[in-house]
Each structure stands twice: as structure tokens, then as C-alpha cells.
């Protein structure tokens, strides 16, 4: 990229360029005018020379007429004509001269000694036989011609323009001319005058342009500097030219306003940043404290969970165990009474064995759930974790009339989680949801577990929807505080731990209201 | 044992109400071992649909069930005037439920897993109570029928006898001759099928009690 000249220099250069072009135009105009003037002057002189030559011929004609009338003889007439013309001068001492058709000089006022001599062979400095050309022109009827001839004043050769007219009765031709040097001299004078005027005009223009350029480029330069400082976030300066009434003043005022606005804005921004930073530190401190608490209370929570689960387990195990006892004792009594039907006994014993298996399956499920091991992240199908958690939560719940609906798409990607920890999170949320709905009529004791690909495709979004009283918006953060509880007997560490566990997996845990009443607990888990 | 006057409406049956199929089935198996007639119901609602006012036997109901609970079923039966002896079965640790069960007047309360001997003994007890209840109900009905055969004058004479009046006093009160009182009195003793005044007094008390109990 070509480095562009700075803005003020650019304006000055352009202004000067404009002035120079204007001056050039003036010069060309002057040259044309001078040339026209010279042509005009020459034309004027040609006219004058022709008139004068004509008058001279008339003068000779008059003397000839007197001779023809017999007033004077021919020699006197010729002498009168010659002598009259000899003393006649015009302009810068220009004179008339007469030669005859043979090229012999009749009248030459500046060199009378040459009169009577044959001048036909004379040549000028360019080698022209100008007398012969004059005579030939006269013989042809007369006209204008130029040649060189010594000036009468300086005796130096100069370009001369002459008009020739023949006077046939005496075989003469009369002529007069001017030196073109004189024209050129006059033109030169006019040229000098014009140059003088031009110089003055150029000078005035130059001064004006300089003044205008300075009045623009200087404040522009200052404004450029000001804008530069603005862009470097330096606001500690005054914007000059603010009080000018012209466009520069407008720009200066705009720059000043930009300065003020930006300074205030940045001050606000700094304040905001400072506040955000303070808030962040506060939040992190709080979070760190919360995490500490979370870790400290995780064990408690686990024990609480275990206690609650043990109660549920006792209920659930009671069913198959009681059934086993019934089958057995029923069989024993029949055997004792001797009323045993072999087939019926066999069926009863098989049923008893089935119930024993049912009991051991429950124990195995619980043992797997409670197994304490180091957290290990492994890719697992979410459906498996959901199944484990819901089957344990469902213990005893069916008997209270609650149902848990599960909607986990089969094509959901596996998640990378610790099976036990996330299982406990889900168990906690399910238990919370079920407890929240204990006051509901049986038809509305319904929990829905959903799983979807999150908007951020790196995560899976799990939702636990209940139809309980819901959680007021004001409490939606408070429920995650350690020891927050809405339950009379609860310890309140559950949700706090849940959030810590989910966050330790890189996910999030939050609450949304259920549009038809109740709460939706959402959490995200990373896709494996 | 049964009073011949009681019409046999239904066989004595133990009704088992529990939502857990395995437990229900096993309980049937156990009770059948004691030679009882057993009918199983999967829910309180099922039982209500099948029950009749003149049911005989007893009820074993689980306290926790989807829909109506065991205690709610007990309330409902009471409202319907069905007075079936009830054994409430609870899971482990449902002490408040048990208290509630007793308060509601359920006959008994057993905990899972069941002690077979205990349960069967309680069932026997319930059935005995039911039998007694039905016997009393039957006897009351008989006595009422006998009372209904008395004429108005005979009834007046009986009330006076029961109240301990002598024949002469009765004659004065009712403004009839002693001879007439004696005739009415012997007709009352005959119709009520008693031989002594003491028996007549007892019967009159029983009928009165049945009336006071809203029977």
C-alpha cells in the first residue's frame, strides 16, 4: 500500500496546484493576446504604409498633371515631386523613396549620394535582390514586400516592410516602409507590462492561498492530533478552534463532544469493570466456600441418602420376604396337616424362590448404587443411569400412587460421567420431585424424566419435571445454598451437592418453572 | 354353632386386599393352609365393587396401596354400614399408621413379614367375632319378630312386668281386672318363648340395646 501524504499537506498542495494552473492559463492568454496584438499592429502599419504610398503617388500625379497642363516643364515637375517627398517624414522618421523601372535610384532621403546610381543589383543580408523585387512588384501593379535594409538611425540592417506603387508616365515606382523591429519593440513593452501585472497577480494569489491553506491545514492538523490522542484514549487536552464559526469549528465541536462522551463512557466502563471484577471475586469466594461446604457435607448427604434409602429398602424388601415367609409357612402347615397336594406345594415353592430372587435383585441394585469408589468418568448410556435411579426412587412410590415416566431417546449419545455420582444427583432430584407432590391428588403425583441433546451439542440436557407447588422465582438460587430446606426434617444439602457434582462434570444445574404448575430441574452432562 | 334362625347368605370368607400380587398370592396360600375360604382383591376399589352388606368373614388389608389406602377402605365400609372385622397389615415402621388403625377401630394390626401363627390366630379371632356379631344380629332379629307378634295390650303388660310391677299394680295402671292381666301375662311368656320373668327382662334389655346401638 502506498503511503498517502498527510491530509494538511494534501490540501496545501492542491491549493497551490490550482493557483499554478490558473497562472499558466493567464500566461497562455497573455501570449495569445500579444501575438494577436502584434498581428494587429502589423496590419495597422501595412494599412498606413499603403495609404502613405498612395498619397505619395497622388503627389507625383499632381506634379505630372501640372506638367501636362503646361504650367511647368517636365524636369521642374519631377524636381517638385522629388523635393516635396524628400522632406516628408512619418512615425519614427520613416521616409519615401523612388526608383525608376530600370532600378536607378531617384529619391533616397537617407542616402542622397546614392541617387542616380543603379541599385538593381543591391542585395540584403539574406542575399535578396530587394530593389529588383521592388521593381518587379511595381511592374505588376504594386503591393507589400518585406526585406532587410539598414535602419536610418542605427545604420544596422533591420527587417523592413514596404509598399510599392508604380507611376507609369515617368516609369517610376514610389514606396515607403516601416521596420518591423519597431513593432517587436512595442510588443516587448506590452509583454513586460503584462508580465508585471501577472507577477503582481501571482504574488497576491500566492499570499491568499497561503493564508487560506494555513487557516485550514493548521486547525486540521490540530484536530488530527486531537483525534489521534482520542484513539489512544488520551483525553487530557483541550480541543482548539471550538469557537470558530465555520465548518472547522463544527468539526472541532464534534471532536470535543466525542472526547467528552468517550471520556465519560470509558469512566463508566472502568467503573462497571471494577464492579464486575469485585462481583466476580465475591462470587468466586462464595463459590469456593460453597464447594468447600459441599465437599464437607457430601459425606453427610450420602449418609442421609443412605438412611433414607435404607428405609425405602426395608419397605421394598419386606414385600418379597413376607411373600417368601407366607409361601413357606403355608406349605409347612399343609405338610404338617398331611393335606399336602404335591403339585400345589411345588408351585408355592417356586413362587417363594421367585420372591427370594426378587429380594436379592433389590439388594444387588442398592449395593451397586451405594458402592463407594473413586470418581471414575466413563462413557455411559444415560438411559442406564436413569433406569437405575428411577428404579430405586420408585421403591415404595408406586404404593403411594406416584408414577415416574421416562422419556430418553434411544439415539441419545453416551455421556461421560461418574455413574454413582450422577445416579445420586438424579436420585436426589427424583426424591425431591416426589416429595414435592405428596400433597397432590393421586392423578397428579407424576414425575417425568426427559433427556435431549442440549443446544450446545457437546452436552445432553436432562430434565426432571414435577407437578408440585413449584419454586418461587426468588428462591430459585436459594435452594442451592447449603442447608436450605423447605422440609421440616430435611438437611438441605442435597441440591447444593447435586450442583457441585454436576459442575465438577462440566455441566450446569438450574431450575425452570413448569408452565402447568411445578418445577423442572435441568442439568447438563458432557457427551462422551 | 350357627343359630338355625339365621339365613345362610354367604360362606364365611377371609378377604385379602393387597396391591402386591406376590404377597397377595402368598397370603392366600398361607390362609388356605388353615382351611379358610379366601378371596383375593388387587385393590380397595375392587373389594368395594365385590362387597355386599351381608358378607360373612373378615378382611385383611394392606395399609399402603395406590388409590384407596387400607384405612380409607375401613372408613368407607363403616359409612356403608358393613361391619366386617378388619386386620390391617403394615410395612416396617409405620407406627403412626398403626395408631391410626387402632383409633379407627380396626380389629387388629400386624406387621410384615407376617408371623404365620399370629396372623392365623388373629384371623380365627376375627372370624369368631364375626360369627358372634352375626349370631347377635340373628338373635335380635328373632326377638324382634317375637315382639312383633304381641298385641298392644300384651306389650303394655310386658313392659310393666319387665319394670317389676305386680299383677295387682298392672291391673290398676291399665285399668283392667287382675284376671285379664294374668291371661295377657301368660300369652306374653308363651309368645316370647320364656318361662321366667328374669328371661323376659334379659330379652327386653337385649332388644333395647340393639335399638340403642342403631341396629
Cβ distance of B29 and A398 shorter than 8 Å: no
On whether the CB atoms of residues A347 and A330 are closer than 8 A, the answer is: no
d(CA A520, CA A465): 4
Chain B environment of A345 (Cβ under 8 Å): none
On whether the CB atoms of residues A487 and A476 are closer than 8 A, the answer is: no
* Cell 372408613 found at: B75
* Cell 519614427 found at: A92
> Which residues, in sequence order, are bridge partners of residue A145?
A162
The whole-number pLDDT of residue A179 equals 84
By the CB < 8 Å criterion, does B71 face chain A?
Answer: no
Residue A116: left (phi > 0), alpha (psi -120 to 50), or beta?
left
- Mean pLDDT is lowest, of A69-73, B79-83, B149-153, B207-211, for B207-211
The whole-number pLDDT of residue A371 equals 62
Which residue in A has a C-alpha nearest to residue B23's C-alpha? Answer: A323
For B98, residues 6+ apart whose C-beta sits below 8 A from its C-beta are B88, B90, B109
d(CA B4, CA A60): 200
Instruction: Give B77→chain A minimum CA distance, Å.
Output: 21
Chain A environment of B34 (Cβ under 8 Å): 333
A287: number of CA atoms within 13 Å, CB side?
10
On whether the CB atoms of residues B160 and B130 are closer than 8 A, the answer is: no
By the CB < 8 Å criterion, does B23 face chain A?
Answer: yes
Q: What's the maximum distance between 2 C-alpha atoms anywhere in chain A?
A: 208
d(CA A42, CA A161): 9
Query: With a CB-CB cutoff of 8 Å, which residues 147-186 of chain B face chain A?
Result: none
DSSP states of A25-36 as a string?
Answer: HHHHHHHHHHHH
Taking residues B19-43, report their average pLDDT: 91
Chain A environment of B22 (Cβ under 8 Å): 319-320, 323, 351, 354-355, 358
> Which residues, in sequence order, are bridge partners of residue A459?
A526
| Of the partner residues A314, A325, A352, the one whose CB lies closest to the CB of residue B114 | A325
The whole-number pLDDT of residue B215 equals 38
Going by their DSSP bridges, the two strands A446-453 and A403-407 should be labelled as parallel
pTM of the model: 0.43
Chain A environment of B33 (Cβ under 8 Å): 329-331, 333-334, 337
Chain B environment of A311 (Cβ under 8 Å): 93
By the CB < 8 Å criterion, does B20 face chain A?
Answer: yes
Instruction: Give B111→chain A minimum CA distance, Å.
Output: 10
| pLDDT tens, N- to C-terminus, chain A (528 residues) | 444 444 445 777 888 888 888 888 888 988 898 889 888 988 888 898 899 999 999 999 999 999 999 889 988 999 999 999 998 888 778 889 999 988 888 998 888 888 888 888 788 777 788 888 888 888 888 888 888 887 777 777 888 889 999 998 999 999 998 888 878 888 889 889 988 988 898 889 888 888 888 888 888 888 888 888 888 888 888 888 888 888 888 888 888 888 888 888 888 889 999 999 998 888 888 877 777 666 655 555 555 566 666 666 677 788 888 899 999 999 999 998 887 788 989 999 999 999 999 888 888 877 766 665 556 788 999 999 898 888 877 766 666 678 889 999 988 999 999 888 888 888 888 888 888 888 888 778 889 999 999 888 899 999 999 998 888 887 777 777 655 555 544 444 478 778 888 888 889 999 999 888 889 999 999 998
| Of the partner residues A326, A352, A401, the one whose CB lies closest to the CB of residue B27 | A326
On whether the CB atoms of residues A450 and A456 are closer than 8 A, the answer is: no
d(CA A390, CA A403): 10
Using alpha carbons, list the distances in angstroms from residue A413 to A407, A460, A508, B81, B83: 14, 8, 18, 60, 59
The whole-number pLDDT of residue B27 equals 93
Cβ distance of B32 and A330 shorter than 8 Å: yes
Angle at B124 between CA B214 and CA A337, to 5 degrees: 160
Q: Which parts of A108-241 are beta strand (E)?
A: 143-150, 157-167, 172-179
The pLDDT confidence band at residue B4, using thresholds 50, 70 and 90, is very low
Cβ distance of A400 and B34 shorter than 8 Å: no
d(CA A228, CA A232): 6
| Of the partner residues A327, A333, A442, the one whose CB lies closest to the CB of residue B67 | A442
> Which residues, in sequence order, are bridge partners of residue B158?
none
Rounded to 5 degrees, φ, ψ at A442 are -55, -35
pLDDT at B116 over 80: yes
Cβ distance of B114 and A334 shorter than 8 Å: no
> Which residues, in sequence order, are bridge partners of residue A527?
A415
Estimate to the nearest angstrom the gap between the alpha carbon of A424 and the chain centroid: 56
Exposed e or buried b per residue across A274-297, where buried means at least 16 C-beta atoms within 10 angstroms of its C-beta: eeeeeeeeeeeeeeeebeebbeeb
On whether the CB atoms of residues B91 and B46 are closer than 8 A, the answer is: no
Instruction: Give A337→chain B minimum CA distance, Å.
Output: 9
Cβ distance of B22 and A318 shorter than 8 Å: no
For A89, residues 6+ apart whose C-beta sits below 8 A from its C-beta are A95
> And the C-alpha cell for A452?
435431549
By the CB < 8 Å criterion, does B91 face chain A?
Answer: yes
d(CA A134, CA A522): 125
On whether the CB atoms of residues A467 and A517 are closer than 8 A, the answer is: yes
| Of the partner residues B23, B33, B64, the one whose CB lies closest to the CB of residue A334 | B33
> And the C-alpha cell for A8?
494538511
By the CB < 8 Å criterion, does A320 face chain B?
Answer: yes
Residue to mutate among B30, B114, B115, B117, with most A CBs inside 10 A, is: B30
Chain B environment of A327 (Cβ under 8 Å): 26, 29-30
> And the C-alpha cell for B131?
360369627
For A407, residues 6+ apart whose C-beta sits below 8 A from its C-beta are A448, A449, A450, A451
By the CB < 8 Å criterion, does B64 face chain A?
Answer: yes
Chain B environment of A446 (Cβ under 8 Å): none
By the CB < 8 Å criterion, does B66 face chain A?
Answer: yes
Which residue in A has a C-alpha nearest to residue B34's C-alpha? Answer: A333
Residue to mutate among A312, A330, A355, A397, with most B CBs inside 10 A, is: A330
Chain A environment of B116 (Cβ under 8 Å): 325-326, 329-330, 333
For A42, residues 6+ apart whose C-beta sits below 8 A from its C-beta are A161, A180, A183
d(CA A497, CA A500): 5
Cβ distance of A315 and B92 shorter than 8 Å: yes
On whether the CB atoms of residues A218 and A224 are closer than 8 A, the answer is: no
* Cell 435383585 found at: A361
> Which residues, in sequence order, are bridge partners of residue A165?
A174
The whole-number pLDDT of residue B148 equals 86
- 3-state secondary structure labels for all residues of A407-448: ECCCCCCCEEECHHHHHHHHHHHHHHHHHHCCCCCHHHCEEE
The pLDDT confidence band at residue B7, using thresholds 50, 70 and 90, is very low
Exposed e or buried b per residue across A322-361, where buried means at least 16 C-beta atoms within 10 angstroms of its C-beta: bbbbbbbbbbebbeeeeebeeeebeebeebbeebbebbee
Please give the DSSP secondary-structure letter assigned to residue A118.
B
Cβ distance of A333 and B33 shorter than 8 Å: yes
Q: Which parts of A111-222 are beta strand (E)?
A: 143-150, 157-167, 172-179
By the CB < 8 Å criterion, does A403 face chain B?
Answer: no
Which residue in B has a C-alpha nearest to residue A340's C-alpha? Answer: B33
User: Is B194 or A292 the better-scoring residue by pLDDT?
Assistant: B194
Cβ distance of A330 and B67 shorter than 8 Å: no
The whole-number pLDDT of residue B67 equals 78
Cβ distance of B25 and A351 shorter than 8 Å: yes
For chain A, first and last CA: distance in Å?
50
Residue to mutate among B21, B64, B66, with most A CBs inside 10 A, is: B66
d(CA A352, CA A347): 9
On whether the CB atoms of residues B90 and B111 are closer than 8 A, the answer is: yes
By the CB < 8 Å criterion, does B146 face chain A?
Answer: no
Give alpha helix (H) positions in A242-395: 247-337, 342-370, 382-393
d(CA B41, CA B57): 15
The SS3 call for residue A161 is strand
Amino acid at each position: 500500500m502506498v503511503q498517502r501524504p498527510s491530509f494538511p499537506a494534501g490540501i496545501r498542495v492542491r491549493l497551490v496546484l490550482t493557483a499554478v494552473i490558473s497562472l499558466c492559463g493567464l500566461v497562455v492568454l497573455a501570449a495569445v493576446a500579444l501575438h494577436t496584438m502584434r498581428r494587429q499592429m502589423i496590419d495597422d502599419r501595412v494599412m498606413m504604409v499603403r495609404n502613405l504610398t498612395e498619397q505619395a503617388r497622388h503627389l507625383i500625379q499632381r506634379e505630372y498633371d501640372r506638367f501636362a497642363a503646361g504650367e511647368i516643364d517636365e524636369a521642374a515637375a519631377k524636381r517638385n515631386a522629388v523635393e516635396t517627398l524628400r522632406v516628408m517624414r512619418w512615425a519614427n522618421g520613416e521616409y519615401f523613396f523612388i526608383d525608376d523601372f530600370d532600378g536607378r535610384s531617384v529619391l533616397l532621403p537617407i542616402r542622397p549620394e546614392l541617387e542616380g546610381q543603379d541599385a538593381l543589383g543591391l542585395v540584403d543580408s539574406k542575399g535578396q535582390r530587394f530593389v529588383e523585387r521592388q521593381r518587379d512588384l511595381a511592374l505588376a501593379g504594386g503591393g507589400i514586400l518585406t526585406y532587410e535594409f539598414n535602419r536610418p538611425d542605427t545604420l544596422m540592417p533591420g527587417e523592413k516592410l514596404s509598399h510599392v506603387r508604380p507611376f507609369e508616365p515617368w516609369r517610376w515606382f514610389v514606396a515607403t516602409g516601416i521596420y518591423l523591429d519597431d513593432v517587436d519593440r512595442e510588443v516587448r513593452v506590452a509583454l513586460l507590462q503584462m508580465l508585471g501585472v501577472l507577477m503582481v497577480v501571482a504574488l497576491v494569489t500566492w499570499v491568499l492561498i497561503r493564508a487560506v491553506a494555513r487557516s485550514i491545514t493548521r486547525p486540521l492538523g490540530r484536530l488530527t492530533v486531537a483525534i489521534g490522542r482520542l484513539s489512544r484514549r488520551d483525553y487530557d487536552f483541550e480541543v482548539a478552534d471550538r469557537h470558530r464559526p465555520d465548518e472547522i469549528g463544527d468539526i472541532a465541536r464534534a471532536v470535543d463532544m466525542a472526547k467528552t462522551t468517550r471520556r465519560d463512557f470509558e469512566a463508566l466502563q472502568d467503573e462497571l469493570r471494577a464492579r464486575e471484577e469485585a462481583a466476580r471475586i465475591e462470587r468466586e469466594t462464595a463459590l469456593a466456600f460453597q464447594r468447600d461446604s459441599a465437599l464437607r457435607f457430601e459425606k453427610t448427604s450420602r449418609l442421609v441418602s443412605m438412611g433414607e434409602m435404607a428405609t425405602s429398602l426395608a419397605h421394598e424388601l419386606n414385600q418379597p420376604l413376607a411373600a417368601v415367609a407366607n409361601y413357606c409357612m403355608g406349605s409347612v402347615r399343609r405338610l404338617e396337616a398331611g393335606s399336602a397336594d404335591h403339585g400345589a406345594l411345588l408351585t408355592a415353592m417356586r413362587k417363594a424362590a421367585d420372591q427370594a430372587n426378587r429380594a436379592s435383585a433389590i439388594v444387588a441394585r442398592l449395593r451397586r448404587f451405594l458402592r463407594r469408589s473413586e470418581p471414575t468418568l466413563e462413557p455411559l448410556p444415560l438411559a442406564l443411569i436413569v433406569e437405575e435411579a428411577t428404579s430405586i426412587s420408585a421403591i415404595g412410590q408406586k404404593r403411594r400412587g406416584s408414577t415416574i415416566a421416562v422419556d430418553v431417546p434411544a439415539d441419545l449419545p453416551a455421556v461421560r460421567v461418574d455413574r454413582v455420582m450422577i445416579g445420586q444427583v438424579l436420585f436426589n432430584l427424583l426424591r425431591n420431585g416426589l416429595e414435592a407432590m405428596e400433597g397432590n391428588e393421586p392423578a397428579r403425583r407424576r414425575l417425568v424424566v426427559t433427556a435431549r441433546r442440549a443446544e450446545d451439542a457437546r452436552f445432553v440436557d436432562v430434565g426432571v419435571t414435577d407437578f408440585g407447588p413449584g419454586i418461587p422465582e426468588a428462591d430459585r438460587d436459594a435452594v442451592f445454598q447449603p442447608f436450605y430446606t423447605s422440609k421440616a426434617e430435611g438437611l438441605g444439602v442435597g441440591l447444593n451437592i447435586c450442583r457441585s457434582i454436576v459442575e465438577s462434570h462440566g455441566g450446569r444445574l438450574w431450575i425452570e418453572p413448569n408452565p402447568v404448575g411445578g418445577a423442572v430441574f435441568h442439568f447438563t452432562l458432557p457427551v462422551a | 354353632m350357627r343359630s338355625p334362625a339365621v339365613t345362610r347368605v354367604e360362606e364365611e370368607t377371609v378377604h385379602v386386599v393387597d396391591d402386591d400380587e406376590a404377597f397377595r398370592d402368598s397370603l392366600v396360600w398361607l390362609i388356605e393352609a388353615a382351611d379358610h375360604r379366601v378371596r383375593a382383591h388387587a385393590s380397595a376399589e375392587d373389594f368395594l365393587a365385590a362387597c355386599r352388606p351381608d358378607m360373612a368373614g373378615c378382611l385383611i388389608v394392606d395399609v399402603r396401596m395406590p388409590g384407596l389406602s387400607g384405612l380409607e377402605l375401613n372408613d368407607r365400609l363403616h359409612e356403608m354400614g358393613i361391619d366386617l372385622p378388619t386386620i390391617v397389615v403394615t410395612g416396617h415402621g409405620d407406627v403412626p399408621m398403626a395408631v391410626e388403625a387402632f383409633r379407627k377401630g380396626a380389629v387388629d394390626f400386624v406387621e410384615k413379614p407376617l408371623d404365620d401363627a399370629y396372623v392365623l390366630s388373629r384371623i380365627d379371632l376375627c372370624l369368631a367375632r364375626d360369627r358372634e356379631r352375626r349370631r347377635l344380629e340373628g338373635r335380635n332379629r328373632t326377638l324382634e319378630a317375637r315382639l312383633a307378634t304381641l298385641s298392644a295390650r300384651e306389650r303394655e303388660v310386658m313392659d310393666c312386668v319387665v319394670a317389676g310391677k305386680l299383677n295387682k299394680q298392672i291391673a290398676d295402671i291399665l285399668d283392667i281386672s287382675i284376671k285379664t292381666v294374668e291371661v295377657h301375662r301368660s300369652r306374653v311368656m308363651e309368645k316370647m318363648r320364656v318361662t321366667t320373668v328374669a328371661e323376659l327382662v334379659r330379652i327386653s334389655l337385649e332388644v333395647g340395646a340393639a335399638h340403642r346401638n342403631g341396629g
